[in-house]
């Protein structure tokens, strides 16, 4: 893996610092993601993911160190930051090191589905979420 992943990690750490310092704050700019969209010519969705991952890295020393060392790709880091907690950081890092990006994405999807099924907020909320996911709506 190596240098490209390390460079991406450094870029995201800079984004995180820029967001914390509110360097993006100007009249008409709504968020760091909007600033990235404007200045870096990326979609708002991509910019939001960069800012989300950058913010998540702040509290994840082991994952951040592996990313900066080039041991993890952005795809893997993006996926695991969706479910990581301080309690499971080491396990997720180990899984990501020995999995492909596709396998890591699949694991995260399954893990999130399991969390939805366990629903700590009560069965009714989980049932409602599962019901709402069954339908496709389209507005003209």
Give the position of tokens 């991406």.
8
Question: Model confidence over 66-123: pLDDT tens digits?
Answer: 999 999 999 999 999 999 999 999 999 999 999 999 999 999 999 888 877 776 565 5
User: In the prediction, which pLDDT does 140 show?
Assistant: 45
Q: Which two tokens stand for residue 85?
A: 């907690």
Q: CB count, 10 Å around CB of 119?
A: 15
Could you report the per-residue pLDDT of 29-55, keeping only the tens digit for each?
999 999 999 999 999 999 999 999 999
Instruction: Estimate the crossing angle of helix 101-118 against helix 123-133, to 10 degrees.
Output: 130
Q: Residue ranges of the domains in the chain?
A: 3-133
Query: How high is the pLDDT of residue 114?
Result: 84
Its pTM stands at 0.79
- The pLDDT of residue 129: 60
């Amino acid at each position: 893996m190596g240098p490209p992943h390390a460079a991406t990690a450094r870029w995201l750490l800079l984004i995180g610092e820029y967001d914390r310092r509110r360097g993006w704050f100007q009249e008409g700019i709504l968020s760091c993601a909007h600033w990235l969209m404007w200045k870096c010519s990326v979609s708002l969705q991509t910019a939001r993911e960069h800012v989300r991952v950058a913010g998540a890295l702040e509290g994840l020393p082991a994952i951040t160190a592996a990313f900066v060392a080039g041991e993890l790709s952005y795809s893997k880091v993006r996926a695991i930051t969706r479910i990581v907690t301080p309690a499971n950081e080491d396990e997720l890092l180990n899984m990501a090191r020995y999995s492909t990006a596709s396998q890591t994405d699949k694991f995260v999807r399954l893990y999130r589905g399991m969390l939805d099924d366990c629903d700590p907020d009560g069965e009714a909320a989980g049932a409602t979420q599962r019901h709402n996911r069954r339908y496709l709506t389209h507005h003209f």
